[in-house]
């Protein structure tokens, strides 16, 4: 079929990976030589370079027209609400009910459309509802104002005040309250809708290591601490009031919403709590759950933040050891055990360390004054595990490579450390004064919030938490080193090395704080990631790593020079971590000259490595490659295995991925694997290498070989850093991309949405770092032909990327490319040409001449010219793409098949049937002679169309009959490619023999459905089929 100009647009094509990361995959082999959407890279180890917007994604189903149908509810989740309905104690109803009867049809509460009732208890009713204004699903809770026995107006007013206070609290570990207000004699509270289960369910689902349990409770503890900071007390903390979302984020729920008059006594005639009620929230007599209550609550004294701390420790004790610290089957028994301080001991065979138990014992003190002064103080102690720092390293590049900059810095001050009095550990935390203390913390927060960005407050809170945790762990490790040395458990030399390592980390912390206190909008974007990229403290507890540190120069002056230089290098590293790449390069220049002159190999290797990483981020790949190669050689000479391995892994990206030199990249990966085998980093470098290798193979199009490496990276990062870490999210992006490249778009979207949830938790819902993930979701939407959603996604992406990185960053090419494809689908050919030319200009400025992305863009320019009827320009674009693909991949590759098919189609539509036939035959001849190869379907279908146009109906039918079974097997062939082949075969068959009319009509009907299922530009093709069918009706 020779389709008229404008009747067709390019198919849902194989993704082109983001040129900013240099990753590009195979393209769809179509009759028109068409390629695919551009999707963004996994951001494995780089400071984010692709700032793009993100739509608000929820665990709830997508928005629907609520006037036509209620939003579906996922029945697989027993607890999809922020407010747990199974913790609402049943109680007799009193007074007039304000809740709507959902069974009678959807009703509204304020602007919220009620979908269904999910639970009811003595405090009120919980519904799932839909916020029409903000288009999101919410949990809607109606609380009766008189349940305390107070006057209705008094109870309602108090509930409103408490709920309004909660609405002002925004913290990633606290369920967000969106809105509150009166409704009849009740108060409604609209809250975040969370898909997931309770912490109790999470604990019971499987046996979990103590570190994982502690990590989840630490998240909950941060939520409690944030509430306490806002003057809100929970009063009923327990595992049932903590949700672990499907995204892995922990949220504490029901803060203070069941608050009652603390001095109220039991209602006259009320029955005493039963044995079965000790786990349930009780109202009227107590506020809270007896099994988790603090002594003061059991005595009906006012509860405060210290009461929450006691409940938290009860719950954590239970989570770690499998039973609660105070035994009792009834409220009375538990009360006696608590008030008499009859606390159970932990199991003898527990793996939970003593320092954790000691913290719990203090938090469970009967006298509130003996507990920790705040939740933050308790959390600081519980976070001081040296090994936990390794899992918190979300910025994998810094953990695997960047920390090498500091690996031996303070070690050269060992001559000074020897002179210290190691016999005393008084004031072990004093060295952080002026580095991280309350005044410094305030200065950092003020600088970040002063940027005025919408997400500045969220970033400032998250950065403050991370730096406080880092500083607390540093103090704990510093004190532990001193005490161990004083007890004679650690040699002088090892103690000196350990203190020197900690001094390195303090230098890095100081350098980052200095950058953050002068933050601008660009620094704000990278601040959270930079805090997580601080060098790991775990290395300072690793004896093997400490003993492997390079020795200091023998000359005292040289040792001082090395220390001074590395302190300044720490400042450059901090600028790199916050994305100030140009400033970092400018500042590094003189330091590199000093390092060259100094001649100290370990310091020079660290300097060269940082230079290579900076140049890589700035897109100067040849210069980066040269610096990294020198790093490897210099580190090898210095015996620095860590830096050597890190630089080799970086070369896999710079050479094999960025510059598409695949074989060299694979060779470098093997060298890196040998280097990582000698490290004692717990697998951090291996995780980075597996991710890089997976990316390289994705870029090369070898999906089957890429899969195990990607899965291994996902596994390692989840184990090392946690399932809600940025590192794990970066690995999940690659897995989503793998599924995208295999054509499983719904599965890809699911992976990308998991990443979005992780990144939203870490960065906030509007942070530019989410853009890569959003771009990939848009690409998947586009592949599913959801053009409106995809265009909205990419338009937002374009605005954010341009605002964050200017007009010429490689990431902009990604977005221009995809917007060009959408314009193609919608037959807006001038817009398509403009967008694609913008993408090509950026590609040409940043990528080598034979890079596949340049060919991809030329393919799409060829398509747009083709559909617009400019066949000469179309053929030239396809020919230019062919030259690039031949240089990159050689002949017989699916990419060269695309370009040849595109040339042939342009020739066919220009009426040059002979040229078209020869070009299609060439494409077919370059492929392997395997009749079952799905790629052969593309040129076979093209030959069929040529034969049909030439009136050779038998030859056309033969070629199309061979092509049609192959096309659906090709994951890169879209439905309308199949539709075109079906319609061509229908016409060929009916011309051969009128007896084929019935099958021809069936084929044409299928073709019509295929054309109607995609963009508006295919409607003329569907109309042409419809006319053909009408002429043969009956």
Give CATH superfamily name and number for 16-55+767-1031.
Answer: Tetratricopeptide repeat domain (1.25.40.10)
Tokens of 948: 């049909």
Rounded average pLDDT over 84-97:
28
Of the candidate ranges 471-480, 631-640, 768-777, 858-867, the one whose mean pLDDT is the lowest: 768-777
Return the pLDDT at 151.
Answer: 44
- Using alpha carbons, select from 108, 96, 215 the residue that is nearest to residue 147: 96
End-to-end CA distance of the chain: 23
Q: What is the pLDDT of residue 285?
A: 41
Contact 324, 364 (CB under 8 A): no
Lowest mean pLDDT: which of 256-270, 484-498, 823-837, 855-869? 256-270
Q: What is the pLDDT of residue 184?
A: 77
Please tell me which residue in 18, 45, 179, 236 is annotated as part of the active site. 236
Length of the chain: 1034
Answer yes or no: is pLDDT of 619 > 50: yes
| Average pLDDT of the segment spanning 421-449 | 77
Alpha-carbon span 345 to 734, nearest angstrom = 46
The answer to whether 801 and 811 have CB atoms below 8 angstroms apart is yes
Cβ neighbours of 557 (radius 10 Å) = 8
Domain map of the chain by residue range?
A: 16-55+767-1031, 85-382, 388-553, 580-682
Share of the chain above pLDDT 90, in %: 42
Write down the pLDDT at residue 455: 73
- What pLDDT score does 162 carry? 61
Residues 966-991, mean pLDDT to the nearest whole number: 86
Label residue 385 by pLDDT band (50, 70, 90). Answer: low
- Please, are residues 123 and 284 in contact by the beta-carbon 8 Å criterion? no
Average pLDDT rounded to a whole number, residues 708-717: 95
| Confidence class for position 665, pLDDT limits 50, 70, 90 | very high
DSSP state of 765: T
Q: What is the mean pLDDT of residues 363-386?
A: 88
Least confident of 174-183, 420-429, 613-622, 785-794: 420-429
Least confident stretch, 96-105, 123-132, 1018-1027: 96-105
CA separation for the pair 222, 675 (Å, rounded): 39
Q: What is the pLDDT of residue 457?
A: 86
Task: Express each pLDDT in 283-296 by its tens digit.
Answer: 334 456 888 999 99
The token pair that represents 817 in the structure block: 């490319």
CB of 822 within 8 A of CB of 775?
A: no
Q: 3-class DSSP state for residue 244?
A: strand
User: Is-contact 198 239, C-beta < 8 A?
Assistant: yes
Instruction: Give the range with max mean pLDDT: 255-259, 472-476, 807-811.
Output: 472-476
pLDDT > 70: percent of the chain: 77
Biggest CA-to-CA distance, the chain = 103
pLDDT interval class at 394 (50, 70, 90): very low
What is the average pLDDT across 493-498? Answer: 82
List the single range of 54-63, 130-139, 318-327 with lowest mean pLDDT. Answer: 54-63
Range among 219-228, 799-808, 903-912 with highest mean pLDDT value:
903-912
Poorest-confidence range of 222-231, 429-438, 575-584, 967-976?
A: 967-976
**Separation of alpha carbons 198 and 196, rounded Å:** 7
pTM here is 0.51
Joined together, the tokens standing for residue 309 give 């701390």
* 764 alpha-carbon distance from chain centroid: 11
For all residues of the chain together, what is the average pLDDT? 78
Three-class SS state of 177: strand
Name the H helices within 322-437.
Answer: 331-339, 354-363, 375-382, 388-391, 396-400, 414-417
pLDDT recorded at residue 579: 87
pLDDT at 284: 39
- Tally the C-alpha atoms within 13 A of residue 526's C-alpha that lie toward its C-beta: 26
pLDDT of residue 260: 35
Q: Measured in whole angstroms, how far is the alpha carbon of residue 507 from the centre of its chain?
A: 29
- CATH assignment, 580-682: 1.25.40.10
pLDDT of residue 585: 94
| Token representation of residue 868 | 């617009």
Q: How far is CA 349 from CA 346, 362, 791, in A?
A: 9, 22, 58
Q: Is 236 assigned a catalytic role?
A: yes
- 16-55+767-1031 and 580-682 have identical folds: yes
Confirm whether residue 117 is marked as ligand binding. Answer: no
Question: For the segment 813-856, what is each residue's pLDDT rounded down to a tens digit?
Answer: 988 999 999 999 888 999 999 999 999 999 999 989 999 999 99
Kindly state the average pLDDT of the residues 986-1011: 93
What pLDDT does 273 receive? 37
Q: Which has more confidence, 418 or 116?
A: 116
Most confident option among 166-175, 193-202, 595-604:
595-604
The tokens for 434 are 């002026």
CATH code, 85-382: 1.10.510.10
Residue 681 has pLDDT above 50, yes or no: yes
């Amino acid at each position: 079929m020779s389709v008229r100009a404008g009747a067709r647009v390019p198919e849902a094509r194989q993704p082109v990976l983001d040129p900013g990361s240099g990753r590009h995959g195979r393209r769809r082999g179509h009759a028109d030589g068409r390629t695919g959407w551009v999707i963004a890279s996994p951001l494995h180890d780089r400071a984010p370079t692709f700032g793009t917007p993100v739509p608000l994604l929820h665990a709830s189903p997508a928005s629907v027209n609520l006037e036509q149908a209620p939003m579906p509810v996922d029945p697989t989740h027993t607890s999809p609400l922020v407010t747990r309905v199974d913790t609402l104690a049943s109680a007799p109803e009193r007074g007039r009910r304000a809740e709507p009867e959902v069974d009678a049809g959807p009703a509204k509460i304020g602007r919220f459309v009620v979908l269904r009732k999910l639970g009811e208890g003595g405090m009120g009713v919980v519904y799932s509802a839909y916020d029409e204004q903000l288009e999101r699903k919410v949990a809607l809770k109606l609380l009766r104002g008189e349940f305390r026995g107070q006057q209705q107006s008094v109870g309602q007013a108090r509930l409103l005040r408490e709920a309004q206070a909660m609405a002002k609290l925004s913290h990633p570990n606290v369920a967000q309250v969106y809105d509150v207000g009166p409704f009849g004699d009740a108060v409604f509270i609209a809250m975040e809708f969370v898909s997931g289960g309770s912490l109790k369910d999470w604990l019971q689902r499987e046996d979990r290591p103590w570190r994982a349990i502690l990590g989840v409770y630490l998240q909950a503890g941060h939520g409690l601490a944030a509430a306490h900071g806002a003057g809100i007390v929970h009063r009923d903390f327990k595992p049932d009031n903590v949700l672990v979302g499907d995204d892995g984020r922990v949220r504490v729920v029901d803060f203070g919403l069941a608050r009652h008059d603390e001095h109220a006594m039991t209602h006259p005639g009320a029955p005493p709590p039963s044995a079965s009620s000790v786990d349930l929230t009780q109202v009227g007599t107590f506020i809270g759950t007896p099994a988790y209550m603090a002594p003061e609550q059991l005595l009906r004294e006012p509860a405060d933040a210290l009461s929450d701390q006691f409940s938290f420790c009860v719950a954590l004790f239970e989570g770690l050891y499998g039973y609660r610290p105070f035994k009792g089957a009834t409220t009375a028994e538990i009360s006696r055990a608590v008030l008499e301080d009859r606390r159970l001991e932990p199991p003898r065979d527990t793996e939970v360390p003593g320092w954790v138990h000691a913290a719990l014992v203090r938090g469970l003190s009967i006298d509130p004054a003996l507990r920790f002064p705040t939740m933050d103080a308790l959390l600081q102690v519980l976070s001081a595990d040296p090994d936990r720092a390794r899992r918190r390293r979300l910025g994998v590049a810094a953990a695997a490579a960047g920390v090498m900059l500091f690996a031996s810095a303070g070690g050269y001050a060992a001559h000074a450390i020897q002179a210290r009095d190691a016999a005393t550990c008084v004031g072990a935390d004093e060295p952080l004064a002026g580095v991280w203390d309350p005044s410094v913390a305030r200065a950092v927060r003020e600088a970040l919030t002063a940027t005025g960005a919408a997400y500045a407050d969220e970033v400032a809170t998250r950065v403050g938490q991370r730096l406080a945790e880092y500083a607390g762990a540093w103090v704990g490790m510093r004190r532990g080193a001193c005490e161990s040395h004083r007890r004679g458990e650690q040699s002088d030399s090892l103690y000196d090395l350990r203190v020197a390592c900690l001094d390195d980390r303090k230098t890095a912390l100081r350098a980052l704080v200095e950058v953050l206190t002068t933050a601008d909008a660009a620094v704000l974007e990278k601040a959270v990631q930079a805090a997580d990229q601080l060098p790991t403290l775990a290395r300072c507890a690793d004896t093997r790593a400490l003993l492997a540190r390079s020795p200091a120069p023998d000359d005292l002056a040289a040792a001082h020079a090395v220390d001074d230089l590395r302190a300044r290098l720490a400042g450059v590293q901090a600028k790199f971590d916050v994305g100030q790449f140009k400033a970092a390069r400018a500042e590094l220049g003189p330091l590199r000259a000093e390092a060259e002159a100094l001649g100290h190999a370990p310091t020079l290797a660290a300097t060269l490595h940082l230079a290579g990483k900076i140049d890589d981020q700035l897109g100067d790949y040849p210069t980066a490659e040269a610096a990294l190669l020198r790093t490897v050689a210099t580190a090898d000479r210095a015996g620095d295995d860590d830096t050597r391995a890190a630089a080799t892994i970086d070369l896999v990206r710079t050479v094999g991925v960025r510059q598409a030199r695949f074989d060299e990249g694979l060779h470098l990966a093997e060298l890196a694997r040998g280097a990582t085998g000698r490290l004692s980093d717990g697998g951090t470098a291996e995780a980075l290498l597996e991710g890089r290798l997976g990316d390289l193979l994705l870029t090369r199009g070898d999906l089957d070989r890429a899969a195990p490496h990607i899965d291994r990276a996902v596994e390692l990062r989840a184990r090392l850093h946690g399932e809600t870490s940025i590192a794990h999210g970066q690995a999940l992006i690659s897995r989503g991309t793998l599924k995208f490249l295999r054509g499983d778009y719904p599965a890809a979207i699911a992976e990308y949405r998991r990443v979005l949830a992780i990144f939203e938790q870490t960065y906030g819902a509007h942070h530019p770092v989410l853009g890569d993930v959003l771009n990939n979701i848009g690409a998947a939407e586009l592949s599913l032909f959801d053009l409106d959603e995809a265009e909205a996604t990419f338009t937002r992406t374009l605005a954010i990327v341009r605002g964050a990185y200017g007009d010429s960053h490689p990431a902009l090419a990604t977005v221009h490319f995809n917007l060009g494809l959408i314009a193609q689908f919608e037959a807006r050919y001038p817009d398509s040409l403009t967008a694609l030319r913008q993408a090509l200009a950026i590609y040409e400025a940043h990528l080598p001449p034979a890079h596949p992305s340049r060919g991809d863009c030329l393919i799409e320019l060829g398509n747009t010219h083709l559909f617009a009827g400019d066949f000469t320009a179309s053929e030239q674009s396809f020919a230019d793409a062919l030259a690039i693909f031949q240089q990159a991949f050689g002949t017989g590759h699916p990419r060269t098949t695309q370009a040849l098919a595109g040339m042939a189609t342009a020739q066919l539509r220009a009426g040059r049937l002979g040229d078209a036939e020869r070009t299609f035959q060439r494409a077919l001849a370059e492929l392997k002679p395997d009749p079952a190869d799905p790629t052969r379907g593309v040129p076979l279908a093209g030959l069929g169309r040529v034969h049909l146009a030439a009136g050779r109906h038998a030859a056309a039918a033969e070629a199309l009959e061979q092509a049609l079974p192959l096309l659906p097997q090709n994951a890169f062939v879209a439905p309308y490619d199949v539709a075109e082949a079906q319609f061509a075969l229908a016409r060929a068959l009916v011309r051969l023999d009128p007896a084929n009319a019935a099958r021809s009509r069936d084929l044409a009907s299928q073709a019509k459905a295929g054309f109607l299922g995609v963009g508006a530009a295919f409607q003329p093709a569907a109309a042409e089929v419809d006319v053909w069918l009408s002429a043969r009706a009956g």
